[in-house]
Amino acid sequence: MHRYTSLVVFVLAAALPVTPAFGLDKVDPYICPTTAKGSAIECFLEAVPQTYTMCRQIKSIEIIEFGLKGAQEGVNGAKTEYCIDKHRLSITRPYHAALREAARSKEAVQSLRQLHDVWLESLAKLVPAPDEADETYKQRVIGPYAEFNERIKMIRILGEAPAKPVATPPSKTKKARP
């Protein structure tokens, strides 16, 4: 019986599904619905436009309800502010998991950080500027999608490229003379 124990353990381990090691098990499926069980980078890349869209739609509802000028008066912008705060928190887990996954590539980590910064700036700019025309506002808030897509495309290209070997510094110890 003991002869087959290791074989049984191996077969059971191979048959069990592999769970992501990136902490994505608690990610809300609304954040990255198609890649929640896949790569952390892909989850984050999907979450950026997804969460921006959610908050942009909420701001659109506030504008429909209160008008462009009234959308921020008093508590009228509270739903958008809540949405932004909520998604800043909800994207944290996919963002940090993506950074860990991309750690082998300095360029990929930098690109992920830049995408996150652009996303944060875009969320902050959902608020209509004073005396901004309706059409100007609509064009401005759809603008970030092009930048998101461009940055996401570059991150995916970086992910497909083989990792550059890390150069090891020359040894500082002197060789002993014979």
State residue 20's pLDDT score.
44
pLDDT at 3: 58
Is 164 a domain residue? no
The count of domains in the chain is: 1
CA distances from 80 to 8, 22, 32, 55 (A): 54, 29, 20, 6
Least confident range of 69-78, 79-88, 145-154 = 69-78
Has residue 38 been placed in a domain? yes
Residue 96 belongs to what domain range?
A: 18-158
pLDDT digits (tens, 9 = 90+) for 112-144: 999 999 999 999 999 998 889 999 999 999 999
Of the given ranges (38-52, 70-84, 127-141, 153-167), which has the lowest mean pLDDT?
Answer: 153-167
Is residue 112, in this structure, part of any structural domain at all? yes
DSSP letters of 27-85? S-TTTSTTTTTS-HHHHHHHHHHHHHHHHHHHHHHHHHHHHHHHTTSTTTTHHHHHHHH
Residue reference for tokens 């009234």: 70
Residue 169 lies in a domain: no
Q: Is residue 99, in this structure, part of any structural domain at all?
A: yes
Is residue 178 in some structural domain? no
34-38, 50-54, 142-146: range with lowest mean pLDDT: 34-38
25 in any annotated domain: yes
Task: Please indicate, yes or no, if residue 11 is contained in any of the structural domains.
Answer: no
Name the residue with tokens 């592999």: 18
